[in-house]
Amino acid sequence: MYNEVIGFIRSLYPEGEVVPLYAPCFVGNEKKYLEACIDTTFVSSVGKFVDRFEEMVARYTGAAKAVVCVNGTNALHMAMLLAGVERDDEVLTQSLTFIATANAISYIGAHPVFLDVDRDTMGLSAEAVKNWLATHAGLKEDGCYNKTTGRRIKACVPMHTFGHPVKIEELAAVCEEYRIELVEDAAESLGSFYRGRHTGTFGKVGALSFNGNKTITTGGGGMLLFRDEELGTYAKHLTTQAKVPHRWEFVHDHIGYNYRMPNINAALGCAQMENLERFVADKRETAEQYKRFFAGSEIEFFVEPANCRSNYWLNAVLLKDKEAQQEFLAYTNDRGVMTRPIWRLMNKLPMFAHCQTDGLENTAWFEERVVNIPSSVRLDK
Ligand SMILES: *Cc1c(COP(=O)(O)O)cnc(C)c1O
């Protein structure tokens, strides 16, 4: 079976000795826009591509406003600040995520609480959040508090794992009931929609990433999505050193951040956005082929949840147990087909080992079984 898998993946990605897990795709105006930056000398913090990129992403996602950042991690940091998370608050999130989600919470001095994911989404479970809050939380005049630790529970950060949308409306309802801010880590889900609405636009703030391995790339980059235009305008101010506009004076009215994406990266982003729908269509076609190939075999292909259109950022298969997972990883990587296990769980890392968790039953089940398989866009092939 594993040998057939190798053959099939190589038929999808025939070029090169090693099939990478993910390689970026440049088939549009990338060079032209980069050249325009260099020719005009506008490569840095000022330039027309920044505004254009923000407008393109806002229009595509339906956000009232979009604000660029230097990367997805500092977009998440900013999202925590904008959600009003403060030192010693608690923030509910999933243990099954990339480290950036938990790091962003920690930059504020807040404490992540790691809760379970759903089996059909691999993302934060509304039921798990509801159950945990029913046991641990109490509402007070000024918000939701953890009855055991005494800390305020300020925000909840679901992550749309591998581009598959979580049950975001159910999570939004639980958060509303407990007066907790909803922040979406949509780093992996540009191009993914839940009931026709783009991921990252349900919460107070959503964060995207344009790292080299994401669905579109700006080299490095991130973006904040807002439903509230005014909050977006404030985010723009904070991410650009909180400088008060003036023709020559240097006056700043907050402790700001230098989180603005340079024009040269935004130029790449504009060119990539022009092809986003083609990329997603291509990725969904690849996923469809994987799905057909694995149907009826001992390896299960993970499909998009109900009521969603997933971008299938990273395709994932489920092996029958940990032993099979390790065998499959060794077999494929030994033969030049790059595959990777899912991230080591946050609560198993030394920095977060002391954090509160629930039973993490589905989380542990996924950790032992998930393997990501090559998922690059194939348009240039
Ligand atoms: C990629 C990613 C980020 C942000 O990563 P950057 O490399 O900083 O852009 C955040 N969260 C998740 C889940 C990610 O996959």
State which amino acid sits at residue 24.
P
What does the pLDDT look like over 241-251, one tens digit per residue? 999 999 999 99
Q: pLDDT-based confidence at 310, cuts 50/70/90?
A: very high
> In angstroms, what is the span from residue 166 Cα to ligand 1's centroid?
17
> In angstroms, what is the span from residue 214 Cα to ligand 1's centroid?
9
Q: pLDDT-based confidence at 45, cuts 50/70/90?
A: confident
Strand 137-140 relative to strand 143-146: parallel, antiparallel, unpaired? antiparallel
Question: Tokens at residue 165, please?
Answer: 């949308």
Average pLDDT over every residue of 341-364: 98
Average pLDDT over every residue of 313-340: 98
Which percentage of the chain shows pLDDT scores above 70?
A: 99
For residue 193, CA distances in Å to 41, 115, 229, 271, 306 come to: 37, 23, 21, 22, 11
CA distance 352 to 374: 30
Nearest-CA residue for atom 2 of ligand 1 = 187
Query: By the 8 A CB rule, do 291 and 315 touch?
Result: no
Return the SS3 of 138: strand
Of 185, 240, 184, 223, nearest to 67 (Cα)? Answer: 223
Q: Which sign does the torsion angle of CA 77, 81, 87, 92 carry?
A: negative
Nearest-CA residue for atom 4 of ligand 1 = 72
Q: What is the DSSP string of 233-278?
A: HHHHHHHBTTBPP-SS---B-S---B-PPPHHHHHHHHHHHHTHHH
Angle at 222 between CA 68 and CA 119, to 5 degrees: 135
Residue 370 has pLDDT above 70, yes or no: yes
Residue 380 has pLDDT above 80, yes or no: no
Which residues, 6+ apart, have CB-to-CB distance to 369 below 8 Å?
Answer: 318, 319, 320, 321, 322, 324, 325
Query: By the 8 A CB rule, do 218 and 49 touch?
Result: no
State which amino acid sits at residue 351.
M
Q: pLDDT-based confidence at 381, cuts 50/70/90?
A: very low
In ligand 1, which atom is closest to the CA atom of 101?
11
Mean pLDDT across the chain, nearest whole number? 97
Question: Tokens at residue 316, please?
Answer: 């994932």
Element of type H or E holding 195: none
Average pLDDT over every residue of 204-225: 98
Phi, psi torsion values for 243, nearest 5 degrees? -85, 130
Pocket test for ligand 1, best of 69, 73, 78, 213 (most atoms within 8 A of CB): 73
Residue 219 has pLDDT above 90, yes or no: yes
Return the SS3 of 183: strand
CA distance 112 to 37: 41
Residues with CB under 6 A from ligand 1: 71-73, 76, 97-98, 100-101, 159, 185, 187-188, 209, 211, 222
Which residues, 6+ apart, have CB-to-CB distance to 135 below 8 Å?
Answer: none
How much is the pLDDT for 182?
98
Q: pLDDT-based confidence at 53, cuts 50/70/90?
A: very high
CA distance 223 to 184: 12
Question: Tokens at residue 335, please?
Answer: 């033969």
> In angstroms, what is the span from residue 76 Cα to ligand 1's centroid?
9
Average pLDDT over every residue of 102-127: 98
Return the SS3 of 96: coil
